[in-house]
Amino acid sequence: MHTPQLDKAAEILCISKSELSNLLRGQFKSCTIDRIFSLLRKLDHDIEIVLHKRPVNTPSAALRISTSAD
């Protein structure tokens, strides 16, 4: 997959096109959370982490990721 948009995205993120391609295919094994946060900041995204106590009647803790419509 070689498009001008991917070339520009890789340039903005300061990563290779092959690394970007891997990330777009959901291959995050070699990517730390710090690295993901850094890439999101380069794309001008704010990152917010909110912790809530797990309700007593819930069998296990949950992980939710959401995005704003902005």
pLDDT by residue (tens digit) across 51-66?
888 888 888 888 888 8
Dist. CA 12–CA 40, nearest whole Å: 11
Amino acid in the structure at residue 37: F
Domain span at residue 46?
Answer: 1-70
Please give the tally of structural domains in the chain.
Answer: 1
Q: What is the pLDDT of residues 10-28, one digit of tens each?
A: 999 999 999 999 999 999 8
